[in-house]
Amino acid sequence: MPALACCVDAAAPPGYAFAGDISFPAPVAFTDVPLPITDNNTGHWSPSLSAALYNVDGWGGPYFSVNAAGNISVRSHGSATLSHQEIDLLKIVKKASDPKSVGGLGLQFPLIVRFPDVLKNRLECLQSAFDCAIQSEGYGSHYQGVYPVKCNQDRFVVEDIVKFGSPFRFGLEAGSKPELLLAMSCLCKGNPDALLICNGFKDAEYISLALVANKLALNTVIVLEQEEEVDLIVELSKKLCIKPVIGLRAKLRTKHSGHFGATSGEKGKFGLTTAQILRVVKKLDLAGMLDCLQLLHFHIGSQIPSTALLADGVGEAAQIYCELVRLGANMRVIDIGGGLGIDYDGSKSCDSDISVGYSLEEYAGAVVHAVKCVCDRRSVKNPVICSESGRAIVSHQSVLVFEAVGTSSTVGGASSLAFSSPYMAGDLSEDYRFLSEAAFGGDYERCLLYTEELKERCVEQFKQGTVCMEQLAAVDGLCELVRKAVGAGEPVRRYHVNLSVFTSIPDAWGIEQVFPIIPIHRLDEKPSVRGILSDLTCDSDGKIDKFINGESSLPLHEVDGGGYYLGMFLGGAYEEALGGFHNLFGGPSVVRVSQSDGPHSFAVTRAVPGPSCGDVLRVMQHQPELMFETLKHRAYEYVSQDNAAVLASGLARTFDRMPYLVPLSSFEEAALPVSDEDEGVQWSY
């Protein structure tokens, strides 16, 4: 530990000196000041220590790990991934972001990296879990799931699910007319037995569209969310001469108390009460359509924390299912809705909104056992089990990668200044004397106390005009030097990241959802500071200061100017669909990566730049073409002819680039004058 006097002498510029030369003896640890994370505390650091620090194996297994190079490794086939098939995430990022002149794709950050192989593996694991539970229980029917497209409506995600799920009769769930159109189109290429579940509020147009889907030989089920919808279905089905398949959503008494349980229970937003179910059955019976009622749907809530709660809800729903059979409905399917959770922090906790205390196999086993017990006891044929798992299917398939472009802390370079002798002889000399005595006595707690008192008094004198700015900065520097010398470390830094929280991680702002965020490289180095993340938006809420394991800051490395990349994991569900355009920041660039037998174990199958400045302006009803023409005219009005042409060309390029920060090299390349053949501005939207 260096002596404070050495630190002070080295920091003091000419013309500044301290009133006394103080030197601190070797510090001893005291409990109320956390030791900094520095290489002085341990000798060797390894990737395995980083994996433990960030609990990568806890939340990332079996898809993410830390490799020997200290980078995040992607295991696209889960536990079946062979060692030579592992993909270095940093290599993907470099391939995507490097300029085209050196073989890269020239994409800007932020960047979403999609792994369709992970998506395929998630579907296979879910199907396998239910297949094993059905075989183990001797269950009398089968499982076939549906994917709720609201979780992520990206074309390629939905198309992949239909393709990968075709062998399992995997279908889709829609909650609006656009989602229904999307699902109908995709399922035309899917398994003909795959279910198309129509949920959400419905008008005559929605119901007519669902009936048309039935006419197109899609296995469509119109689920009643409100009692009034049954009248529309009866009327329109007779008018169009299309016999519907009807389901109904029941409001269960069972619910969980966490944040995601608000949509369940008797006061839930959707579903029918017991009395409403009986009235619907009676209406269908009077219309001669009771045989159309074939599916029961319910939803306990997202992120169901335990299998005990799950089994309780499924058991209650199974009783309703059996009652509908008794009342004469032609029941075939019990749809347990969503709720299959994922473990965002790796804690395997049943008492957390960001964790779950079960595996896929335990989840499937609890469902199958609960349904079988009730139906066997009531002598009812075991129904087809359907689930609407979205979060558990798509969360792992993408990683959001973004760059830290700088840091700031309370020090702000103040340690380069010190006190002038006349200043130390003034009102603050007594504070400085107390600090010196505490230092010589080894009383580090009093050292910290006196530095804070010194700073407070100096601030008051600055407000009164008796202390100058240089002296105020010098006191800040002294306080920081003292903190470091006694082992208290520097305060949490703010890392500025090339990202909009509101666009790319809206749940972190809206519901304080916590995602695992870690550096994707340099994990063979020990992180030396702690930081929070601050985005590009002009909004104080544009930050992330809540992390897994209840941490309010994140262990990070120094930004050394060579590119420091962070990854947000398990965010493949909802974040893209919910993202907004705050400050007119659009979505990220996207690459799709498949595992291959090439030298780097991956192949980029698709690369799409994020929305340009022109694209996001159009969202708000602006007209980029006219805006450009206005600015171009202004340039020719106020700038010389030759320079105006170059200026106009630069403006056109700005409209075509993403709103996020651009590396200097890319900016210089984009700012070069265009050739004669490129003079005409081309707009593509």
Whole-number Å distance between alpha carbons of 529 and 512? 24
Query: Looking at residue 259, what is its pLDDT?
Result: 62
Listing DSSP states for 244-265 in one string gives --EEEEB--S----SGGGTT-S
Residue 304 and residue 278 share a domain:
yes
Question: What CATH number does residue 351 fall under?
Answer: 3.20.20.10
* Number of domains making up the chain: 4
Q: Of 36-40, 136-140, 513-517, which range is least confident?
A: 36-40
346: left (phi over 0), alpha (psi -120 to 50) or beta: left
Question: Could you tell me the sign of the dihedral formed by the alpha carbons of 419, 420, 423, 428, in that order?
Answer: positive
pLDDT category at 524 given cuts 50, 70, 90 is very high
Q: DSSP letter for 337, please.
A: -
Amino acid identity of residue 545, one-letter, is D
Instruction: Kindly tell me the burial class for residue 32, based on how many C-beta atoms sit within 10 Å of its own C-beta (0-12, 13-18, 19 or more).
Output: exposed
Mean pLDDT of 156-184: 97
Residue at 311 is within a domain: yes
Distances (CA, A) of 87 to 35, 84, 153, 176: 35, 8, 26, 37
pLDDT one-digit tens code per residue, 341-366: 999 999 998 888 899 999 999 999 99
Is 538 among the catalytic positions? yes
Question: What is residue 449's predicted lDDT score, i.e. its pLDDT?
Answer: 81
Is the residue at 194 inside a domain?
A: yes
| 433-447: average pLDDT | 73
CA dihedral over 571, 577, 578, 580, signed as positive or negative: positive
529 in the same domain as 636: no
CA distance 593 to 399: 11
Domain carrying residue 622? 618-667
Q: Do 131 and 269 fall into the same domain?
A: yes
Question: Could you tell me if 222 and 306 lie in one domain?
Answer: yes
Round the average pLDDT of the chain to a whole number and report it.
85
Predicted pLDDT at 21: 36
Query: What CATH code is carried by the domain that includes residue 106?
Result: 2.40.37.10
Is residue 110 included in any domain, yes or no?
yes
**Residue of 519, 514, 518 lying closest to 548 (CA atoms):** 514
Report CA 179 to chain centroid distance, whole Å. 22
Residues 405 and 334 in one domain: no
Decide the pairing of beta strands 543-544 and 564-568: unpaired
Contacts of 366 (CB under 8 A, 6+ apart): 307, 310, 311, 314, 358
Cβ pair 19, 424 in contact under 8 A: yes
Which phi-psi region, left, alpha or beta, contains residue 231 (left: φ > 0; alpha: ψ -120 to 50)? Answer: alpha
DSSP 8-state class, residue 535: -
The verdict on residue 269 lying in a domain is yes
Does residue 638 sit in the same domain as residue 510?
no
pLDDT single digits (tens) 294-328:
999 999 989 999 999 999 999 999 999 999 999 99
Helices (H), 620-674: 624-638, 641-656, 664-670
Q: Which of 468, 484, 500 is the last residue of a domain?
A: 484
**284 Cβ contact partners less than 8 Å away, ≥ 6 residues apart:** 230, 234, 246, 290, 292, 293, 329
For 487-501, how does the pLDDT look when each residue is reduced to its tens digit (9 = 90+)?
666 678 999 999 999
Q: Based on the fold, state whether residues 119 and 231 are members of the same structural domain.
A: yes
Q: Is residue 6 part of a domain?
A: no
Over 90: is that where the pLDDT of 599 sits? Answer: no
Please calculate the CA angle 563-569-571 and round it to the nearest 5 degrees: 120
Q: Is the pLDDT of residue 522 over 90?
A: yes
Residues 441 and 538 in one domain: no
Residues 231 and 269 in one domain: yes
Set 292, 322, 538, 613: catalytic member = 538
Kindly state whether residues 216 and 143 are assigned to the same domain: yes
